[in-house]
C-alpha cells in the first residue's frame, strides 16, 4: 500500500521548493505560489474531483494566498471536496461525477433499473476504472526503498514500473509492429524480488493490442541496481507512458488509444502534460497520424518512437504501460454493453478534457437556430429553422482542431456509417448524432453515442434508402459498407425534424422550447 501511494505521488506536480519561497519584509505572505496551479489545466467542472484525490494541493491551497481555488472559486471548489469520480474507496454514490440513465431492463443482464445502472457503470463508466484499480498486483517487489518495482492489473493490460531497465543495443526489428519475442532474458527488468510463477500466469490474453504480456514476459530480476551501477546509457527522469497504437488514419480506432490513455491517467492519478509518450513499435516503420493535434491534451512533447532508443541501455525512473485499444471487455472497441442505458460520466469527462486542453469552446447556439453539420446533402437549406453547413473533414484541407471546433458547435451531426462519426464524442450534451445509414452495423455508433450520452437516430424505412449495388469488398465479396446510397428527401427531412425536436427538448439546450413549436 505504501508503494502504491508513493508511486502516485511521484506523478504529481511537486510543490514549489521551500528555498524558492520568498517572504515579504517580516510577513508570512508568499511571493510565489506554493503549487504550480496553472499546470493543473483541467475543465472547471473537474477541479473539485482533482482536489479530492490530491490533498497535498488542498493543503497548499489553504496556506497560499495565490491559490485561485481559495479566493476566486471558494464556493465552488474548496467547499465541494466530497465530489469524487466514483472509483475512490471513500466515494459515496451521491457524490459521483454523474451516473448513467437506464430506460429499461435487459433481461439476462439485470433484474431492476438500479442493477442495470450498476452494470453499465462498471462496464463503461468510472466503475470500469475502479475495477482496473482493484486488480492491481505487485509482481516485482522492491528490496529496499527506492528500488525497482512492477505492478500490473489483471492480464497485464496496464502496468507501472519504477527504475525500469531496457536494453535496446541489439533490437530485433522487422516488419512486425508488435514482435512478441522482442526481448530476451536480462534485456528488460529491474532490481526487485520477482514472483515469476504468478507473473507468467497472467498471459491468458496475450495479444498485441490487448495485453503487455508479450513485451514483459521476459522481465528479469536483476542482480544489482541498474542506475547506481552504471548500466544505463540514458536515464529518463521524466514520467513515461508506453503505448501501442491502433490505426492512426482511422478516427474510431485511434480514439480508442486516446480514451484508454485518459483512463490510464485516472488509474495513475495524474493529468500532467510534463510526461513522455513512447510509441511501442518493434518495426522500423514510421506511423501515420491524422489526429496528432490531440496529443496536446496529454503531453507537451513530441511522441517518441521506441526505435529512438536503439543501440542504448535505457533506464526509466517512472514508467506506465497504458491500457490498450482492443482489450477484451475494454473500451471502446467491440465492447459488449447492456442495452437501454446511456450517458457515462467517463466519456463526458474525456470529451470535456480534450476540448478544454485543445482550447475548443462552445460559441452558440445563435439566434435560437439549430446548427446542422452534414456531410452530403443540401436538402435542409430551404428550411429556416436550421443553420446548415456542409463539411468534408479531409485532414489535408482542415486541421483536426478546426474539425473539432465545427463539431463542438453543432447541434445535429449527420453522416453515413464511417469513422468520421467518432466526432460524436465532442458534440455538446444536447446534440443529436444522425447516422444516416448504418450499413447493417447496428451497434457501432449507437453504442458510442450511448457511452458519450448524446441522442442517436438512424434511417428507419428501408424502402426509402437505395443502394447503388450490393457493394464490393476487396476480399470479402458482397458488403453493404462498400457501395453508395441515395435517400428519399422527404424522409430525410422528417428525420432531421425529429432530431431537432429532440435537441429543443433537451434540458441543457439554451433555448429550450415547448414541444409543440415543431
SS (H, E, C) 376-437: CCCCCCCCCCEEEEECCCCCCCCCHHHHHHHHHCCCEEEECCCHHHHHHHHCCCCCEEEECC
Residue 462 has pLDDT above 90, yes or no: no
140-174: pLDDT as tens digits = 999 999 999 999 999 999 999 999 999 999 998 98
**Alpha carbon distances (Å) from 113 to 109, 110, 129:** 11, 8, 22
Phi-psi region for residue 311, left (φ > 0), alpha (ψ -120 to 50) or beta? left
Within 10 angstroms of residue 223's Cβ, the number of other Cβ atoms is: 10
Could you tell me the pTM of the whole model? 0.89
Q: What pLDDT is stored for residue 145 in this prediction? A: 94
CA 504, CA 370: separation in Å to the nearest integer? 8
Of the pLDDT bands very low, low, confident and very high (cuts 50, 70, 90), residue 447 is very high
Q: Would you kindly state where each structural domain of the chain is located, as residue ranges?
A: 2-83, 135-321, 360-517
- pLDDT at position 477 is 55
Is the pLDDT score of 396 beyond 60? Answer: yes
pLDDT at 245: 97
The CATH T-level fold of domain 360-517 is: Rossmann fold (3.40.50)
CB 100 within 8 A of CB 341: yes
- How confident is the model at residue 58, as a pLDDT? 87
Kindly tell me if the per-residue pLDDT of 17 is higher than 90: no
- Residue 455's SS3 state is strand
DSSP 52-69: HT-HHHHHHHHH-TT-HH
Mean pLDDT of 53-79: 78
Amino acid at each position: 500500500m505504501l508503494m502504491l501511494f508513493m508511486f502516485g505521488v511521484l506523478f504529481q506536480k511537486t510543490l514549489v521548493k521551500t528555498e524558492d519561497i520568498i517572504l515579504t519584509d517580516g510577513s508570512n505572505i508568499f511571493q510565489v505560489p506554493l503549487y504550480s496551479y496553472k499546470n493543473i489545466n483541467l475543465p472547471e467542472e473537474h477541479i473539485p474531483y482533482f482536489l479530492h484525490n490530491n490533498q497535498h494541493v488542498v493543503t497548499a491551497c489553504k496556506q497560499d494566498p495565490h491559490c485561485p481555488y481559495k479566493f476566486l472559486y471558494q464556493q465552488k471548489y474548496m467547499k465541494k471536496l466530497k465530489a469524487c469520480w466514483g472509483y475512490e474507496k471513500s466515494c459515496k454514490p451521491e457524490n459521483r461525477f454523474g451516473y448513467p440513465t437506464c430506460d429499461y431492463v435487459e433481461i439476462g443482464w439485470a433484474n431492476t433499473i438500479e442493477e442495470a445502472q450498476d452494470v453499465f457503470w462498471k462496464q463503461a463508466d468510472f466503475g470500469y476504472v475502479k475495477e482496473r484499480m482493484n486488480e492491481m498486483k505487485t509482481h516485482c517487489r522492491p528490496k529496499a526503498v527506492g528500488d525497482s518495482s512492477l505492478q500490473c492489473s489483471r492480464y497485464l493490460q496496464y502496468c507501472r514500473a519504477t527504475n525500469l531497465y531496457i536494453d535496446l543495443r541489439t533490437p530485433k526489428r522487422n516488419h512486425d509492429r508488435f514482435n512478441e519475442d522482442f526481448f530476451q532474458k536480462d534485456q528488460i527488468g529491474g532490481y526487485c524480488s520477482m514472483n515469476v510463477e504468478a507473473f507468467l500466469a497472467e498471459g491468458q490474453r496475450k495479444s498485441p493490442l490487448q495485453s503487455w504480456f508479450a513485451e514483459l514476459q521476459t522481465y528479469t530480476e536483476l542482480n544489482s541496481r541498474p542506475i547506481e551501477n552504471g548500466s544505463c546509457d540514458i536515464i529518463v527522469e521524466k514520467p513515461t507512458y508506453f503505448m501501442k497504437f491502433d490505426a492512426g488514419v482511422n478516427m474510431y480506432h485511434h480514439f480508442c488509444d486516446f480514451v484508454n490513455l485518459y483512463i490510464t491517467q485516472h488509474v495513475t492519478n495524474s493529468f500532467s502534460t510534463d510526461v513522455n509518450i513512447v510509441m511501442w513499435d518493434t518495426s522500423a516503420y514510421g506511423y501515420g497520424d491524422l489526429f496528432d493535434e490531440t496529443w496536446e491534451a496529454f503531453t507537451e512533447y513530441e511522441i517518441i518512437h521506441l526505435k529512438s532508443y536503439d543501440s542504448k541501455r535505457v533506464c526509466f525512473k517512472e514508467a506506465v504501460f497504458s491500457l490498450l485499444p482492443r482489450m477484451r471487455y475494454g473500451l471502446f472497441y467491440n465492447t459488449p454493453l447492456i442495452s437501454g442505458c446511456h450517458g457515462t460520466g467517463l466519456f463526458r469527462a474525456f470529451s470535456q478534457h480534450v476540448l478544454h486542453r485543445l482550447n475548443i469552446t462552445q460559441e452558440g447556439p445563435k439566434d435560437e437556430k439549430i446548427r446542422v453539420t452534414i456531410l452530403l446533402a443540401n436538402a435542409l437549406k430551404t428550411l429556416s429553422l436550421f443553420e446548415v453547413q456542409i463539411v468534408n473533414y479531409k485532414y489535408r484541407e482542415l486541421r483536426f482542431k478546426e474539425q473539432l471546433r465545427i463539431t463542438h458547435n453543432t447541434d445535429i451531426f449527420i453522416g453515413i456509417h464511417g469513422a468520421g462519426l467518432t466526432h460524436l464524442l465532442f458534440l455538446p450534451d444536447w446534440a443529436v448524432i444522425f447516422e444516416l445509414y448504418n450499413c447493417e452495423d447496428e451497434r457501432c455508433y449507437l453504442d458510442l453515442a450511448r457511452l458519450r450520452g448524446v441522442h442517436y437516430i438512424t434511417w428507419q424505412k428501408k424502402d426509402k434508402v437505395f443502394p447503388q449495388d450490393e457493394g464490393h469488398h476487396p476480399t470479402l465479396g458482397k458488403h453493404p459498407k462498400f457501395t453508395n446510397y441515395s435517400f428519399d428527401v422527404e424522409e430525410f427531412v422528417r428525420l432531421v425534424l425529429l432530431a431537432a425536436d429532440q435537441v429543443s427538448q433537451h434540458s441543457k439546450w439554451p433555448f429550450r422550447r415547448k414541444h409543440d413549436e415543431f
